[in-house]
Each structure stands twice: as structure tokens, then as C-alpha cells.
Structure 1
Amino acid sequence: MSHPLGQQPVRQIAYFVPDIVAAAKAHMAAFGSGPFHIAEHIPLTLSLHRGQPAELDHSSAYGQWGEVMVEFVQQNNDGPSVFQDLYPRGGQGMHHVALIVDDIKAAMRHFEEAGHETALYAEVAPGVGFAMMDCVDALGHYVELYEPTPQLLAVYDLVRASAENFDGADPIRYFAVA
């Protein structure tokens, strides 16, 4: 059986950090990425950590780094999560890569059949979900899966377009999360 990553292009690399704004500013200074778009306290209609309901309050900063989106994510509440699993209190580092898949349930099954548990399944709206597959033992990080919804693609387009001719002005941009 081929690895579930297969020929899917990595669309995003994400880091777990204690402060997304500080991490975004440091990344911009070091690598010229950005600008970064901040989503605070991203609402979830469903959150399952390893199959069990678990509240997840998180915020993210999204920016463009060459051909790939870079995300910085912080957890705003205590409790079990894929972030705390990899980086217990106070830890930080590379956390996951993201893939856009045509069928999230089929992709999740493919990963599970290859021995990678669904560590997180969450929905931002009923039926609009994302999953974190536990590939830590094999790859050293999680793999995030989501489908190409118009909303998701719009975020990718916004981040990429804002990076074109980015001159360093207005490096941190906030957008409302509905």
C-alpha cells in the first residue's frame, strides 16, 4: 500500500506556538513571509479529540511563504488536543502539514488503514470539517486534511494574493471569523 500522502501536494506547513502574532513577526523578519492574516478564537461546531468530545479554542495566523502557506496556531484553552499531545504545556514547534483532498472521509479511512489514527476531527460548520491524522511516529508531525470548499479556497487565495508585491506595510491583518 502506498503512503497516504501519495502524490498530494503539501498546501500548508503549520507550527504550534504560544503567541501567533510574535511568531508571525519573527517569521517575516527571518524569511520575508507575509503578510499574516489572524483568525482569533476560531469557532467550531464540533471537536473530537481521539474520538471524544473536547473543547478546542484556538487562534491562527496565515501567511504565504514562497509557494506554501505557513500557519502559526496557538491554543487558548487548557485541555486535551492534538497540539498538547505533541507539545505539552510550554512546548512549541512544527506541528502539521495540510493537504486538500476531494473526499475527507475517504482520505481519513486511507490514513487509518495505514495505521495513522484520526487524532482530531472538527467542524467549522455542520458538515464542513477538517481532520488531523496522527503521523507523528512515521513522519514526526500530524497531517491535516480538508476539502476544497469555497470558503477554504477563498482564504488560500486571499493569503496568496496579499503576498504578491508585499512591501512590509500592514504586516498583521485581522479578519472576523463568523
Structure 2
Amino acid sequence: MSALFGKVCQNGYVVRDIDAALKFWTETLRVGPFFLIPSVKVDWFRYRGVDSAVEMSIALANSGDLQIELIQQRNDAPSMYLDFLARHGEGLQHMSYWSTDYQLLYDRAVAAGFTVGHEGQIGGPRGRFAYFDTAGHAGTVIEISDISGSKGRFFETIRTVAATWDGSDPIRVVGRRGIMAQTPQGL
């Protein structure tokens, strides 16, 4: 537990081939089911304060209370995902802390000296996220994510489904309109 951020809720892995990563996680590790968003729709995304047109696919599952996120960037727009791939290759890129009071957590992180590397929004103002540089910690970035809106409900659905997963239907594709476009009831 971090006195600054709370508990780690998600580990995010940057991958070059999301299909191969899904195969490993579902068949070898037997974690799932994964909810795959082939084309994530971001409201906005900024890398080091400059707009960036990131295109990515993500897949989400839970292992107990810890969410696993697989991220494949689909273009060469500037991002911390590509920075990580260039420096470290594939692997654990971030740990995420979630909050229903995002702005308070964001302001607290900035006041503590953290610098935003990239940030964005998915599904409206209650879907913000920020990734902070962590020069003192080799490799792994710290993310904070607002779960006060529909993203939080979606994440809870993923956790609930994983708790009773029997191994069937290991990859569930979410509509191409993005993570927030499909209600949890429709998954």
C-alpha cells in the first residue's frame, strides 16, 4: 500500500503482438477471460504536454483483485509505451492506482514532484488517466486512473467475471467504438 497513491490495482504490460500475449496469458498462465478492445477510442491524449494521435489495442483481465492490462500501440505516435519498448522491450510498463477522486490524486502526485509523461481521457471527463515519470524506479511507470464513471463499472465487471471464470471463451471482443461505448451488461 502506498501512502501517496493507495493500493496497486493494475499491472500494465506493453507488447508488440497482443494476440501472442493473449495466447500466453490465457493458455499458459490460464488468466482470464480477457476483454479485448481492438481499437481504443481516446477523447484526447498528450505526450509530454503535446497532443499525440496514439492508436492502440488493449486487453484487460483480472488475476484475483489485480487487473492485468496488455497494450499494443498500433502506430508510431509519441507515447510512453513506445519509450518503454525502445528502452526495455516488452514487459511490465506501469502499475496503476485507481481513484474516484482523480483530481485530488493528480494534484497530490504533482505536488510530490511527479512529472506527467503522458495523459488522456477515455469516455468523458470521468475517464481521465495520467502516467508519471519514475526516474528513481528503473522501468516501471506509475499510472493513476479515474474510475468514478463507466470505466470503473466496466473494471468491476471484468473482476466479477474473472472470479468465476471456467476457462471458456477466454477472449471477449468489445465493440470497435471503444471501451466506454459498450455497457458492462452487453459484454
TM-score of the superposed pair, with normalisation by structure 1: 0.88
Preserved CA contact (<8 Å) 2:64 2:159: no
Q: Deviations over 1:102-138 (max 9, x none)?
A: 3323322322233321111111244231111112433
Q: Is the 2:99–2:148 contact (alpha carbons within 8 Å) kept by the matching residues of 1?
A: no
- Deviation (angstroms), 1:30: 3.1
Tell me how far 1:94 sits from its aligned partner: 0.4
The correspondence for 1:65, drawn from 63, 67, 84, is: 63
2:108 aligned partner, one-letter code: H
- Map of 2:84 onto structure 1: 86
Q: 2-side partners of 1:36 and 1:126: how far apart?
A: 23
Q: 1:89 to 1:56 in 2, by over 3 A?
A: farther
- 1:89 positional shift: 8.6
1:157 equivalent in alignment to 2:149: no
Residue 21 in structure 1 maps to residue 19 in structure 2: yes
Contact 1:12 1:98 in 2 (8 A): yes
Q: 2:27, 2:147 → 1: CA distance? A: 31
Q: 1:165 to 1:104 in 2, by over 3 A?
A: closer
What is the CA–CA distance in structure 2 between the aligned matches of 1:125 and 1:152, rounded to whole Å? 8
The answer on whether the counterparts of 1:33 and 1:66 sit within 8 Å (CA) in structure 2 is no
How far residue 82 of structure 1 moved from its aligned partner, in angstroms, is: 0.9
Structure 2 unaligned segments of length 5 or more: list them.
182-187
Q: 1:124 aligns with which of 118, 122, 125?
A: 122
CA distance in 2, matches of 1:126, 1:67: 25
> Equivalents in 1 of 2:88, 2:143: separation in Å?
22
Task: Select between 3-12 and 129-138 the one with higher mean Cα deviation.
Answer: 3-12
% identical aligned pairs: 26
Q: Aligned partners of 1:32 and 1:23: how far apart in 2?
A: 12
User: What RMSD, in angstroms, separates the aligned Cα atoms of the two structures?
Assistant: 2.2
> Which sits farther off after the overlay, 159-168 or 135-144?
135-144
Change in Cα spacing, 1:174 to 1:156, as seen in structure 2 (3 Å) is same
Conserved? CA contact 1:42–1:57, under 8 Å: yes
The TM-score, its normalising length taken from structure 2, stands at 0.84
Distance 1:36 1:45 in 2: 23
Q: Residue type of the partner of 2:118?
A: L
Q: Deviations over 1:147-174 (max 9, x none)?
A: 2223112221221122133222111110
1:1-178 to 2 correspondence within 5 Å?
Answer: 6=4, 8-88=6-86, 91-127=89-125, 128-138=127-137, 140-176=139-175, 177=178, 178=181
Say whether the 8 Å CA contact 2:64–2:163 is kept in structure 1.
no
Number of residue-to-residue matches in the alignment: 176
